[in-house]
Structure 1
Amino acid sequence: MSELATLAGGCFWCLEAAFQRLSGVESVQSGYTGGHIDAPSYRQVCTGDTGHAEAVQIRFDPDVISYGQLLDVFFAIHDPTTLNRQGHDIGSQYRSAIFFHNQKQETIAHRKIEEIARLWPDPVVTEVVPATTFWPAEDYHSDYFRQNQQQPYCELVIAPKIAKLLKDFTDLVHR
């Protein structure tokens, strides 16, 4: 039986492109969560006024890939020490957050943060909070990297994250 993971770590295009490549990941949906208005638009979320984070919701098979392995990838492809920022993407909508769906996920998230905190010189600021309503992003955000690989943002920001994933997590990447 599949499970859900909901993660925010900067631009959802980056997260979607990475998690789509993992064995055991059945689907990745870009969207918005953690805010205070219903059905926000990309334009609204980009203002930073809705409280939402750009996030991905991942449906995965825990018999193929564990929640802990998903978090290992998550922490490898974004900087969990920058508050409300990933590179040039600045604002609370780009915060680092784990939206847990059950007690087991919460426990694993805290354990992973303790592990990675030893590796970073700066404090880890990743939030661990209960999952709330996940609002799917507009259709043009789906499969963004695959459809726009020549775009400068994709070449300069997303492609290096994919290269790191392919190098460091070869055992998790589907062939």
Structure 2
Amino acid sequence: MTCALEFSPLNRQCQTAILTHSVILGVGSASFLRGTLLISAHPFLLRWLPFCRTDIIAHTYCEFMALVKLACAKTRVIRTYSLTVAFLTGGLDFLLIICSYILILQAMFHLPSKDALLETLGTCGSQICMILVSYTPAFFSFLTHRLGHHIAPHIHIFVANIYILVPPMVNPIIYGVKTKRIREKVLKFLFPLKS
């Protein structure tokens, strides 16, 4: 069982919030089932599409909308479904993250000490940077594939590659900057003292 202290602005006391194994299992199972149910239709939707132009995808990986664009049939229903799935996964998650950060910010500004406030702001700042780095190219990629018909294919490929490559690359940098020893070593490497 994992416990965390949670500040309640109503009674100005610390309360214990318990995150049990069953709660963690429930949240994890719900996330897994939602993703599986929404995305599992994609292969079946592609199977029924006729492909008569080419079998070469102008992409660095097998992206669903890149395959849909190769079809010789009308794909309006599939595009609508795919856009709905994108908003039910990424869009809904992003809205829930915003709501949780509003609640976190409300609780943060009721913290008793300035040091606790600064430490919490530092942690939240790193997380918000990582969320923006992950979600910005993802939403751009989702929306341009479905709505941006006049965007050049190489832009789609470039943004999709950013979406896949950049978040895992910058994750250790964003969280590593918070660690004092890592920050000191990086600064020493970038700006060595002259003797």
Return the TM-score normalized by structure 1.
Answer: 0.24
| Structure whose CA Rg is larger | 2
Identify which of structures 1 and 2 has the higher relative contact order when contacts are C-alpha pairs closer than 8 Å and 6+ apart.
1
Return the TM-score normalized by structure 2.
Answer: 0.22
| Bigger share in helix | 2
